[in-house]
Chains A and B, each alone.
Chain A
């Protein structure tokens, strides 16, 4: 079956520093799945941050970037300079097959210190 593995647990980073959350995926049924990052801000519901549907392409949103690397089967999320408002739980997800039901990673909680 499909699986998504991302940076486990919690990451603490100081404001203005860089952040990277690792995500690798495995899929048995399709060579090039669609890849997503979802985010849950405190007190809010889960929402899409960015998505990339073509291997080799980069997606970006709110200062975050992620590049779909089919050679390493990775989709790491990066931001050059984080802000307190980036404190949230981030989920990497994979979509394949004939329905858009997604396979999610376990989530990474990011705490940005002032």
Chain B
């Protein structure tokens, strides 16, 4: 088995601030994802990466940057935090990028913007 660790669990920032969320996985999975979940809504894809140093934009990538410098880690940067971005950010990984792969999720980072 493996685990996905997201840090921090809670992140509080000021409007306009640049904020970074981190994700580590020890599954040795190739593909990693960042999703955002707003209260009462489904998950929306921000970025994904099919291998080290690869980045692919999801539907919600505007206002975010991502970095995959190592196979085991995937970070997400909110370039300028806005109040309407308060949400839970979920990191996930899968062993390949085939259509039927199971995603394994971390427990999330809850972002609050003051």
Which chain A residues have a beta carbon within 8 Å of chain B's beta carbons? Answer: 1, 4, 9, 33-34, 38, 44-48, 51, 53, 91, 95-107
Contact = CB atoms under 8 A, between A and B. Distances in A.
A110 to B, nearest CB: 15
A10 to B, nearest CB: 10
A100 B41 CA distance: 20
B102 A48 contact: yes
Nearest to B94: A100
A51 B94 CA distance: 14
Contacts of B108: 45
20 contacts: A34-B99, A34-B100, A44-B107, A45-B108, A47-B104, A48-B103, A53-B99, A91-B43, A98-B99, A99-B48, A99-B50, A99-B56, A99-B97, A99-B99, A100-B96, A100-B98, A100-B100, A104-B42, A106-B41, A107-B42
A80 to B, nearest CB: 25
Contact of B58 (A9, A34, A38, A101): A101
Contact of A47 (B44, B59, B105): B105
Contacts of A95: 99-100
Contacts of A98: 97, 99
Interface string B76-109: 0000000000000010101011111111111110
Given A46-B105, A53-B100, 10 more contacts: A4-B42, A33-B99, A46-B90, A99-B97, A100-B98, A101-B33, A102-B45, A103-B42, A104-B42, A106-B41
B54 to A, nearest CB: 11
B40 interface: yes
Interface of B: 4, 31, 33, 35, 40-45, 48, 50, 56, 58-59, 90, 92, 94, 96-108
A107 B39 CA distance: 10
A96 B105 contact: no
B103 A45 contact: no
What are the nearest 7 A-B pairs in CB distance?
Answer: A104-B42, A46-B105, A104-B43, A100-B101, A106-B42, A53-B100, A45-B107
